[in-house]
Chains A and B, each alone.
Chain A
Amino acid sequence: MFLHAAGPGNGYGYSPAFAPPANTWENGNSRKMATESFTLAAAPEISEEAKAELELVNRAREGDATAFSTLIRQYEGKIFRLAMNITQNREDAEDVLQESFLKAYEHLDQFQGNSKFYTWVVRIAVNQALMKLRKRKSDRSVSLDEQIDTGEDTVIREIAAWDPDPEIQYSQKELSGILTEAIDGLLPIYRTVFTLRDVDGLSTEETADVLDLSVPAVKSRLLRARLQLRDKLTRFFKRKGDDAFAYM
């Protein structure tokens, strides 16, 4: 037997040791300030899409408001969704959205161009969102880097095969409600990693970079998040007529 029921006291905790850097964009050697515009010639392997984005950033740096508006349009939905996922509060999510883009605008000259603009902004947004959470839980602070690899939260409560295309039994609105509720049921560390990695499509390395976690830590949280979501969704998506059964 290797799978355990989740106990109330295990898993994610709150650590006063965690303090997201106020100047996210200056955090660590890899994010040294770059005050000059990033030149396309410096990165010959860059994709067309990334080139276009860098051009927008450079134009925005020079004061072109339309260029920055285009960047906002491109990413505001993803940032807002991430902020909603972390804070689970619309008002906080809107604050996070606004604060993240304002900080990004203010510090555009510090964007080095060696990562995607989105991963740079999302890093700011994650820290803003965590600060909101910490403020709300005023007696505790929120940590993403706590050791949690106890195995106690690798929960498999039931196993049942799903319909081949489980989502088609539900309307788009119903499906969205089911998926959101399932994510909301995860602890912040899991929903943040899962959203960045599997919903937003960042790589494991990018997710680790955004969250200041090691790659193994991201992988461990991702596995737990995926298994917990699988468990929650089985209730909705299992094949009709099949009995779910406990694992082992």
Chain B
Amino acid sequence: MLTCKEFLAELSDFLDEQTDAEIKSKLERHISECPNCWVICDTTKKTISVYKGMKTCTIPEDVHARLMAAVERKAAAKKV
């Protein structure tokens, strides 16, 4: 059985489904027997999920306008 420390070291790869089959089955066995690590795994997965669901911010219109004006100035200078 893996220790909690070993489990935690593999947690990211486990959540990203980047572990090989043998390690994956050891990790699954560990969380089925360790309630603390099960909670950590579940809540870390949800952490990633809520951030993935974050909408890309629409940038303020004035910021966009200044950016476009700067690019247009650069484009005009390039043509000269």
Given contacts A77-B56, A162-B43, contact A223 B79 (CB under 8 A): no
Using C-beta atoms within 8 Å of the partner chain, give the interface range for chain B: 35 or more
CB pair B36 A226 closer than 8 Å? no
Contacts of A68 in B (CB 8 A): 71, 75
Choice from A160, A194, A248 contacting B39 with Cβ under 8 Å:
A160
CB pair A226 B57 closer than 8 Å? no
Choice from B5, B12, B39, B63 contacting A226 with Cβ under 8 Å:
B12
A198 within 8 A of B: yes
Chain A: minimal CB distance from B5 (Å): 4
Chain A: minimal CB distance from B27 (Å): 14
Query: Across the two chains, which residue of chain B brings its CB closest to A73?
Result: B64
CB pair B67 A72 closer than 8 Å? yes
Contacts of B12 in A (CB 8 A): 219, 222-223, 226
Q: Which applies to chain A's interface (DSSP): helix, strand, loop or mixed?
A: helix
CB pair A77 B39 closer than 8 Å? no
A-B contact count (CB 8 A): 116
CB pair B56 A230 closer than 8 Å? no
CB pair B39 A175 closer than 8 Å? no
A81 within 8 A of B: yes
Contacts of B66 in A (CB 8 A): 94, 98
Q: A105-B75, A106-B74 are in contact. List 16 more A-B contacts (CB 8 A).
A: A2-B8, A63-B75, A65-B75, A72-B68, A80-B63, A97-B59, A98-B67, A98-B70, A101-B70, A156-B40, A179-B50, A198-B48, A219-B13, A226-B11, A227-B8, A230-B47
Q: List 27 A-B contacts (CB under 8 A).
A: A2-B4, A2-B8, A68-B75, A72-B67, A72-B71, A77-B56, A80-B59, A97-B67, A98-B66, A101-B71, A105-B74, A105-B75, A159-B40, A160-B39, A160-B43, A161-B42, A167-B53, A179-B51, A223-B11, A226-B12, A226-B15, A226-B47, A229-B47, A229-B51, A233-B47, A233-B50, A237-B43
